[in-house]
A = this chain, B = another copy of it.
């Protein structure tokens, strides 16, 4: 996620430079042709094209932003649920019993491992290293056999809470409270996997891209008759605006894709790690800082 308040010129220009050049060269070419060859440019129904295109692009950008924002909301829910799980486990389990104290730490650290594993699954990265940092070796071997490693870790926490109940550290009402938090966590995870595994319908990926480019090709032809020598400027600018709208959709549509436009999963996992470690009294790392204006 880009957090700079001012744009970094080199980044913006990197994105803008190419389409700008292509558009401008084409617009100049059309204009030159118009004045060279004795042809009569037809007054293409640009307003009609434009309004059909606006239907596509308006819808697409709204959907893309909603996906991006839902991704963020779901990770926010994960932060909340992780805190609630940790708060309840630390409160409920007795401090007097050494084994109970150990169980607190295991559950909380396994939750940290869980969010890291989930983040890496969503970004299609290897989960092993992050799990190993917070979970015992035997468990690592076991959960890595699962198709969905994060889900395996969550089940282990469910089972350990049941063990705590059998040991008499908590009663079944407290277990019900914890179980409800686990359900919230499972729901957040399921929502994230839904966003990851279900792209925007194919038609909304192809048609807007196709029609926007076609529109940019036709723009100078439709404008040159009335704009004359000003065609390259007017046409390039209008084309650039439509291309920018198209690009935004592409940037936001997949919020867990590990690009600069991503929801900052690493930073949020770190937030969870800090809050959870501090709640069991452990040393916590620093919050992640933006790297050249980008929070990952």
Contact = CB atoms under 8 A, between A and B. Distances in A.
Interface of A: 1-5, 7, 12, 42-59, 61-63, 65, 68, 72-73, 76-77, 79-80, 83-84, 87-88, 90-92, 146-148, 151-152, 154-155, 158-159, 161-162, 171-177, 179-183, 186-187, 189-191, 193-194, 198-199, 201-207, 211, 214, 218, 223, 226-230, 234, 237-238, 241-242, 244-245, 247-248, 251-252, 261, 263, 274-275, 278-279, 284, 287
Contacts of A92: 162
Tell me the interface secondary structure of chain A in the complex.
helix
Contacts of A207: 244, 248
Contacts of A230: 42, 44
Given A59-B65, A65-B201, A84-B183, 5 more contacts: A52-B245, A55-B245, A80-B191, A90-B159, A214-B237
A161 B91 contact: yes
What 5 A-B pairs come out closest when comparing CB atoms?
A42-B230, A80-B190, A2-B202, A52-B241, A76-B194
Copies in the complex: 5
Contacts of A73: 194
Contact of A87 (B155, B172, B194): B155
A88 B261 contact: no
Contacts of A55: 54, 57-58, 61, 245
A50 B50 contact: no
A115 to B, nearest CB: 14
A43 B58 CA distance: 26
Contacts of A42: 226-230, 234
B241 A201 contact: no
Contacts of A194: 72-73, 76
A53 B43 CA distance: 22
Given A2-B202, A65-B63, A177-B180, A148 B227 contact: no
A248 to B, nearest CB: 5
